[in-house]
Structure 1
Amino acid sequence: MYVQPYLFFNGRCEEAIHYYEQHLGAKVNDKLRYKEAPPSDGPAANANGEQIMYSNITIGDTVVMASDDCVNQETKFQGFSLSLTVTSEAEAERAFAALADGGQVNMPLGQTFFSPCFGMVIDRFGVNWMVIIPPQQ
């Protein structure tokens, strides 16, 4: 058993996937649009057919699922962060800058008592991220 993040976007899932591909090296494993689903009388019946019903991407070694939420139009990413573990300060700076572009820095990258390089940012899509270099063991 394992826990897998599933992110719901407000009509910006495709944009987010593309951004993560360009800036975090994400790889798209699968992507389905609402218009590709069989006809339904459930919540998806009123969804925009061009929006993403399901996607599966890999960022580093982690699989993240994402879609445009057809039920809650005011989805917010609250109460969690995705933690991006990197191996060098240059990689941390590059990833942090990409995530901060159009977003909000909550804690700039810097050395902490638990990491040689750590920072917190909310990206342009509202997803909370922590970028960290693990401490040397």
Structure 2
Amino acid sequence: MKLNSYLMFNGQCEKAFKFYEQCLGGKIEAMMTYGGSPVAEEMSPELRDKIMHANLVVGDQELMGSDSPPELYEETKGFSVSININDPVEAERLFHALAKNGAIRMPIQETFWAARFGMLVDQFGIPWMVNCDKAA
């Protein structure tokens, strides 16, 4: 079994995934618009250039997402995308990259369980936690 996060956006999926690709050092392997899909004719003109499905691969992990039809979109709440990193310097870099134009909820810092831990909401409204465990 494999669990993946699937993020829903309000028209910003393409921009968000290009940002995540840059921050996370991954590769976008799929990005299909509603207009480029087999159901294109059924879509409203406003939705045709929006993303029906995006897939970003980082190492052996995947992050997926799409633009929600406006009438179905709900603001993101109740979860965070959690990233665990072994290098405190990389944790700091990644935290600050994702926080660009976003909101820091907890500055990245040492905690009783982590060499570095911080929480943020990125510029697209997605909550993130960056964790770097203390060396054993």
Common fold, TM-score beyond 0.5? yes
- Hey, what does 1:3 align to over in structure 2? 3
Cα distance in structure 2, aligned partners of 1:122 and 1:60? 23
**How many percent identity over aligned positions?**
38
* 8 Å CA contact retained: 1:115, 1:133: yes
- Alpha-carbon distance change, 135 to 72 in structure 1, aligned in 2, over 3 angstroms: farther
Q: Does 1:119 align with 2:118?
A: yes
Q: Where do 5+ consecutive residues of structure 1 fail to align?
A: none
- Alpha-carbon distance change, 62 to 39 in structure 1, aligned in 2, over 3 angstroms: closer
Using the size of structure 1 for normalisation, the TM-score is 0.89
Matched residue count: 135
Alpha-carbon shift at residue 77 of structure 1 (Å): 1.4
Look up the equivalent residue of 1:22 and give its one-letter code: Q
- Hey, what does 1:38 align to over in structure 2? 38
Cα distance in structure 1, aligned partners of 2:14 and 2:59? 19
Would you identify which runs of 4 or more consecutive aligned residues in structure 1 move more than 6 Å?
none
- Alpha-carbon distance change, 40 to 32 in structure 1, aligned in 2, over 3 angstroms: closer
- Alpha-carbon distance change, 63 to 72 in structure 1, aligned in 2, over 3 angstroms: farther
Q: Does 1:22 align with 2:36?
A: no
Look up the equivalent residue of 1:63 and give its one-letter code: E
- Hey, what does 2:54 align to over in structure 1? 55
Alpha-carbon shift at residue 38 of structure 1 (Å): 2.1
Using the size of structure 2 for normalisation, the TM-score is 0.89
- Alpha-carbon distance change, 72 to 94 in structure 1, aligned in 2, over 3 angstroms: farther
